[in-house]
Amino acid sequence: MRLTPDRVEAEYEWVRRRAPTIVTIINDTRDRLGTLFETEVDGVSETEYKNEVDAVFADGEVAVNVAGYVGLLRELDVEGDYPGFVVDEILGRELAATIAGGQPLALLAQATFHFADVHTHGEDGENAGVDDLDAALAAGFQTRLPGWDWRERESPFTLE
């Protein structure tokens, strides 16, 4: 794989065009997690998602890494799929963390990736890595987007 500014822009456009699929996964994941944690979690619109994609790709150092993970997962296909599950899991987990940002959100996004991945299945004819890519994009962006009450309030650990 060769990453150039043109390739980063192409991956950016692909991630933005994927909004209908990713937003559906984000909202399904938030609904499931909300039920598990007995809390209400706000949904995400396609506009909110696209704005956050813009923000992620506006940082060139982050953009080139996100584009690299996206490109690898889009192209990844392993004969029989199962033997390759480790590489797509690692790439997906790291993509989610990179999108979410630094700790502790990176770890939260990695955990959310595994949760979303269980419920995300690719379409016939897609490479094996695409469903992991969708789950990773959903996990990373849902982590950085508002909607979780605990993220909206002041931390009780903030020193004044």
Q: What is residue 83's predicted lDDT score, i.e. its pLDDT?
A: 66
In the prediction, which pLDDT does 160 show?
77
* Three-class SS state of 20: helix
Give the separation between CA 96 and CA 55, rounded to whole angstroms: 15
Angle between helices 19-36 and 105-118 (to 10 degrees): 100
Instruction: Say what the pLDDT of residue 138 is.
Output: 97
Q: How many CB atoms lie within 10 A of CB 95?
A: 27
pLDDT of residue 125: 58
Q: Using 50 as the pLDDT threshold, list the residues of the chain that sit under it.
A: none
pLDDT for residue 92: 94
How far is 77 from 66, CA to CA, in rounded Å? 19
pLDDT of res. 139: 97
Structure tokens belonging to residue 105: 């959100």
